[in-house]
Amino acid sequence: MKHQAFNPYLPSYEYVPDGEPRVFGDRLYIYGSHDQFGGTDFCLNDYVCWSAPLTDLSDWRYEGVIYRKDQDPRNKDGKMHMCAPDCVRGPDGRYYLYYQLHVLTCTCVAVADSPVGPFEYYGCVQHPDGTPWGEKKGDSFAFDPGVLVDDDGRIYLYVGNSPAPGFFKTVLKLRGNRVEEAVCLELESDMITVKGGEHPIVPGPALAKGTAYDGHGFFEASSIRKIDRHYYFVYSSILSHELCYAVSDKPTGDFHFGGTLVSIADIGYRGNPTPLNYTGNTHGGMAEINGQWYIFYHRQTNKMKCCRQACAEKLTIAPDGSIPQVEVTSCGLNDGPLAGKGSYDARIACNLSGKDGTFKSDDARKKDKKNIHPYFTQSGTDREKNGDQYIANMTDGCWCGFKYFSFDGTENTLTVTVRTGAVGTLRVYTDRNLPPVASISVDPCDGWTEFSGKLSLPGGNAPLYFVYSGDGKLDFSAFEIR
């Protein structure tokens, strides 16, 4: 790689959640929804695409806007948001972008001659009589499409939504939509007409009771991949903060629960019961790049549910086809741990917590009435370049973690870039249950200011945890090890 790769892997100003990774030719392309920094709802911006060469996953290129909200004829005023998409290359060699407008019940399709567009509206996934699928009584709510073009050229669409009981679920049921499971639809070669009926594949939370899916029933975020002869269905469970998977030997049924792939709070990783991040929803898919499989997902920022950023981690597929849960890190797409010397933005922290723990990001502004919890944010408004993301509002006992670095065992100088109006201390640990490996005093300062201290730790791979103690609050921009 020309540079090291980090999480989030896109620039600090970019908010592309729900990322579906797709390899076309010699490049990896990311198709996701597009949040607006400071926005009050999900998916407010037009679709954009980013890509990177398979030989260098640190070298991301902005491909621009590939499809606008107002290109859909039912959304000429652009008021409806475009939710999580997927993109596949059809048997005809063209590229098909599947998406949903957030208040409609059907899956829409756009098509282009290039993986980066420009995409043009094609139509709605439809019954053979032309009725959009999702608009007939008994059709499943066609949310969060995932698409597979199988080796034999047959095309399968995976959709569904199974929320917890409440207003939204009641409305969908009144519309006549099924909201109890994920389903698979086979499509004709036109990529848009349903061939046959629905095939239920993974149960929602109610149907999951008493089965292997119990506690991890399907919620949303369908994604499908074929690995060898097996079909892996990735989805967001009713817990929302995790991506789970199910496996089958055929695309339309007999899926068996596999487990959790990743939790954005590391809940369940090696038995951990404690959230190590502020939780919220997540969505993503798997990709194989140079023989290595990855899971792509997203995290929350700005103390909100809907300012989300793209991350990824390496997966290990066992000989029996199972995939153990992976830990969230700061270096997901990197070749290995980050270098033990260099400059790092605080925004690549993979753990973030208040003194007394975390909570769901969609409740943050309501729950943090005392304004004592830290969060990722940036100055200014939503924009396309020159980001300055940082960790804001670290009050007494707040901490952030970075994983992992490769240290050579020499004594180093650690410099932090912060701004604060109070006197305090940043203590640095490789294990929060052991003595600190550095202690840096900070004083009131105008603007971003550097403070330094000695960092002493043995060689090998290790995380770094920064814990703030003191009065007032501290904003944390970057650190350097030299």
Residues taking part in catalysis: 18, 220
The gap from C-alpha 109 to its chain's centroid, in whole angstroms, comes to 23
The CA distance from 117 to 276, in Å, is 39
| Structure-token pair, residue 24 | 């076309």
Contact indicator for 57, 333 with CB cutoff of 8 Å: yes
**How many CB atoms are closer than 10 A to CB 445?**
13
The helix/strand count (H/E) of the chain reads as 3, 31
Q: Could you give the 3-state DSSP secondary structure of residue 84?
A: coil
Residue 184, C-beta contacts closer than 8 angstroms, at least 6 positions apart: 156, 157, 158, 198, 199, 201, 251, 252, 253
| Structure-token pair, residue 431 | 């294990």
The DSSP symbol for 473 reads -
Sheet holding 292-300, edge to edge: 286-289, 292-300, 308-314
Contact indicator for 343, 363 with CB cutoff of 8 Å: no
- Give how far Cα 311 sits from Cα of 71, 231, 285, 373, 477, Å: 29, 23, 11, 22, 19
Whats the size of the chain, residue-wise? 482
φ/ψ of 426, rounded to 5, equals: -100, 115
In the block, tokens 């607006």 appear at 36
DSSP calls for 148-182: EE-TTS-EEEEE---PPSSHHHHHHHHHT-B-SEE
φ/ψ of 250, rounded to 5, equals: -140, 155
DSSP calls for 182-196: EEEEEE-TTSSBB-S
| Structure-token pair, residue 339 | 């270098």
The DSSP symbol for 163 reads P
